[in-house]
Amino acid sequence: MSTDFLSATLAVDRARVDAFLARAFEQRQPPAPRLEAAMRHALLVGGKRLRPLLVYLAGRSLGASDEALDAPAAAVELIHAYSLVHDDLPAMDDDDLRRGQPTVHRAFDEATAILAGDALQSLAFEVLARAAHPRLPALILTLAVAAGRDGMVGGQALDLAAVGGHPNVEALATMHAHKTGALICAAVRMGALTAVPEQDPRVAALDRYAEALGLAFQIHDDVLDVIGDTQTLGKASGADAARDKPTYPALLGLEGARRRAQELTDEALAALAPLGEAGDPLARLARYMIERDH
């Protein structure tokens, strides 16, 4: 798969999930129009859609149809969008910019932002529950665990507790495995489960791919926070250092963090071996995610 073909595939998949998400707001009379507008602002204004892309590519690698993957892809992005709205709140990271736009609590107000995040989370499970699929319970369980206390929310709690502290590399990896890695793992697993039962050995291979990729992605994000600029990132650069948050560059240095991200990327690529050529798009997406500059 050439770089141009990958770029074209990603563009098509972004447009596909964006269209699916937009339909969730069409042909309805919302009881709370301001809430609806805040949800749209959080969800439909930009975004790389990396997690939905992982759903599509993982599912296709095992034979799932695009139509079957639409709802899982949208559900993962809705959870991601809700998490960003809440992460940006004054009580959390207190950010003013997200995806180059004012954060939801800045564009609207803090209470509306909290409610918009709540509604996006609920909508994720509504979208998924409406999908007719024989393994729907497994899909819902995968997303619920990844999004909650044993996944993303638990990781955010660890992140808040670590501010100003000095965790070691192992503790930092544990935090990121929950805060960032859990939803990336869920995206890949949901794509896989749309295609085959959990007992298929390729599902375990994709789990290993996703675990390594999730941590590599977060390490690279830590690096970008140091070397990137606000315009390119779409959010404030240098925010981690300003908040005294522990990061991989702080613990390992910039070059050490880059090396660790590359080691993990290599692990992710090696995990795809049981998929053969069918895993090539996932390999190329992994490289794209870690080599990106924004």
Residues 230-237: what's their mean pLDDT?
Answer: 54
Query: Of 17-21, 74-78, 246-250, 254-258, which range is least confident?
Result: 246-250
Each residue of 94-121: pLDDT tens digit? 999 998 899 999 999 999 999 999 999 9
Separation CA 4–CA 247 (nearest Å):
33
Residues 146-150: what's their mean pLDDT?
Answer: 97
Biggest CA-to-CA distance, the chain: 53
Q: What are phi and psi of 102, to 5 degrees?
A: -60, 140
Is 205 in contact with 101 (CB distance < 8 Å)?
Answer: no
Separation CA 275–CA 193 (nearest Å):
15
Report the 10 Å Cβ neighbour count for 284: 20
User: 3-state DSSP call for residue 268?
Assistant: helix
Residue 294 pLDDT level (bands cut at 50, 70, 90) = very low
Task: Find, among 140, 151, 120, 145, the residue nearest to 72 by Cα.
Answer: 140
* pLDDT surpasses 90 at 230: no
Each residue of 58-96: pLDDT tens digit? 999 999 999 999 999 999 999 999 999 999 999 999 999
CATH number at residue 233: 1.10.600.10
Is 37 in contact with 108 (CB distance < 8 Å)?
Answer: yes
SS3 per-residue string spanning 89-150: CCCCCCCCEECCEECHHHHCCHHHHHHHHHHHHHHHHHHHHCCCCCCHHHHHHHHHHHHCCC
Is 80 in contact with 57 (CB distance < 8 Å)?
Answer: no
Enclosing domain of residue 142 = 3-291
Q: What is the CA radius of gyration of the chain?
A: 18
- pLDDT attached to residue 235: 52
- pLDDT attached to residue 125: 98
Separation CA 266–CA 187 (nearest Å):
20
Number of domains in the chain: 1
- Residue partners of 163: CB distance under 8 A and separation at least 6: 243, 244, 245
